[in-house]
């Protein structure tokens, strides 16, 4: 049947209406188009998968004798008449390549240059310009699909690269945290502690109360037939705890009490295993997390004491498994702790 072309006045329609029998595929369903132009198409039939104004992908199919040409385009629903039923859509955002391809296919269809697959071969064999037209046709057909595949491939490679970078970052961070970062939750905020040792023998008697200045008698040792022996404070301190309470008898060298320095900033004493202590050095940065405080407090390692002590003063240290030996690490904060945090249990991370 000879194709028909119906031309309407431009005042009513922007595009020439064409009667070439083509089909459109929407959401996997193929519809026969009974009215279409370069601007859009109309279909006599129902549709339930789309709504007015909605944009969607379509496949426009040109049926020839023994092959079909298919264009992937984007369309927008203009109207849906459920009573007839009928719906119409317009082509949206056509590129110059798609518009040129549309016109070429229509011209080739109307002129009879391409009717079957054999016509394509004859056009190529008959004239050089035919070869160029066929190559242009199939290049245009594959252009969008090739671009889509390239885009999907680039996006896929990019996502895989991002995933690989993220996974590598997690692995590196995990190794760094495991091998290089030392942390402990066995830590406490404390003031420098002084031990008050007996300088002779006798009955322990309390010295001055309150704040002790250096040289003030913190305790006295009383003997019945001798003058009392004062035990001076080694610092500006406050008495923390009696180890030999007043009224008890002390011998020379015994620890009578512990004193807390009042003129020095609070520090953190952290306990780490022997193996972890070997990874640390004096001056290393540390972060202290204080309960109830939103920010961590930075400081530096002031000292690492590898000396082992016995259960009581004067007794030899008791050795045990290496993983149970702990080493005290003193951290001095960059900014002073508030005094009300004295005795707080904290966690420390050595960076």
**Are 40 and 93 a contacting pair, CB within 8 Å?**
no
Which tokens go with 137? 């046709």
Of the candidates 298, 107, 268, 266, the residue with the CA atom closest to the CA atom of residue 186: 268
> With 90 as the cut, is the pLDDT of residue 88 above it?
yes
> pLDDT tens-digit profile of 201-243?
889 988 888 888 888 898 999 988 788 889 998 888 888 889 9
For 192-261, CATH gives 2.40.50.100
Of the candidates 299, 288, 302, the residue with the CA atom closest to the CA atom of residue 330: 302
The residues, any chain, with a CB within 8 Å of residue 270's CB and separated by 6 or more, are 184, 186, 187, 286, 328, 329, 330, 331, 348
For 185-189+265-350, CATH gives 2.40.30.170
Measured CA to CA in angstroms, residue 258 lies from 194, 217, 261, 327, 340 at distances of 6, 14, 10, 21, 19
Per domain, the residue ranges of the chain are 5-143, 185-189+265-350, 192-261
**Residues forming a β-bridge with 69:** 62
**Total residue count of the chain as it appears in this document:** 351
- Per-residue pLDDT, 228: 87
In this prediction, residue 158 has a pLDDT band, given cuts at 50, 70 and 90, of: confident
Superfamily designation of domain 5-143: predicted glycosyltransferase like domains (2.40.10.220)
Do the domains 185-189+265-350 and 192-261 sit in the same CATH topology, yes or no? no
Out of 2-11, 296-305, 322-331, pick the least confident: 2-11
pTM (2 decimals)?
0.41
Q: Which residue has the higher pLDDT, 6 or 283?
A: 283
In this prediction, residue 188 has a pLDDT band, given cuts at 50, 70 and 90, of: very high
Of the candidates 209, 190, 200, the residue with the CA atom closest to the CA atom of residue 227: 200
Question: How many CB atoms within 10 Å of residue 213?
Answer: 13
- Per-residue pLDDT, 264: 82
Out of 20-29, 40-49, 65-74, 224-233, pick the least confident: 65-74
Query: Given the structure tokens 């402990």, which residue do they identify?
Result: 184
- For residue 39, the Cα-to-chain-centroid distance in whole angstroms is 47
In this prediction, residue 127 has a pLDDT band, given cuts at 50, 70 and 90, of: very low
């Amino acid at each position: 049947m000879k194709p028909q072309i119906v031309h309407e006045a431009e005042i009513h329609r922007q595009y020439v209406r064409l009667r070439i029998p083509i089909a459109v595929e929407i959401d996997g369903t193929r519809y026969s188009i009974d009215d279409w132009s370069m601007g859009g198409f109309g279909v006599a039939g129902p549709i339930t998968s789309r709504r007015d104004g909605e944009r969607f992908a379509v496949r426009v199919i040109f049926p020839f004798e023994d092959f079909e040409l298919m264009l992937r385009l984007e369309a927008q629903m203009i109207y849906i008449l459920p009573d007839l039923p009928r719906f119409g859509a317009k082509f949206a955002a056509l590129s110059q390549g798609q518009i040129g391809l549309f016109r070429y296919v229509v011209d080739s269809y109307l002129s009879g240059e391409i009717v079957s697959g054999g016509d394509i071969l004859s056009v190529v064999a008959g004239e050089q310009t035919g070869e160029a037209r066929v190559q242009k046709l199939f290049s245009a057909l594959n252009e969008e699909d090739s671009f889509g595949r390239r885009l999907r491939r680039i996006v896929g490679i990019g996502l895989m690269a991002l995933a690989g970078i993220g996974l590598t970052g997690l692995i590196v961070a995990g190794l760094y945290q495991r091998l290089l970062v030392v942390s402990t939750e066995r830590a406490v905020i404390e003031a420098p502690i002084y031990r008050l040792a007996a300088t002779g023998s006798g009955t322990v008697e309390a010295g001055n109360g309150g704040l002790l200045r250096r040289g003030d008698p913190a305790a006295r040792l009383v003997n019945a037939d001798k003058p009392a022996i004062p035990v001076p404070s080694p610092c500006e301190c406050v008495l923390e705890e009696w180890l030999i309470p007043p009224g008890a008898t002390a011998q020379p060298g015994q620890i009578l009490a512990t004193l807390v320095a009042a003129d020095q900033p609070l520090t953190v004493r952290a306990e780490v295993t022997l193996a972890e202590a070997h990874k640390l050095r004096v001056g290393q940065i540390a972060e202290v997390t204080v309960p109830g405080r939103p920010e961590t407090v930075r400081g530096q390692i002031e000292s690492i004491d590898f000396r082992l002590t016995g259960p009581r003063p004067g007794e030899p240290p008791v050795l045990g498994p290496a993983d149970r030996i702990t080493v005290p690490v003193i951290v001095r904060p960059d900014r002073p702790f508030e005094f009300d945090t004295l005795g707080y249990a904290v966690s420390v991370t050595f960076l």
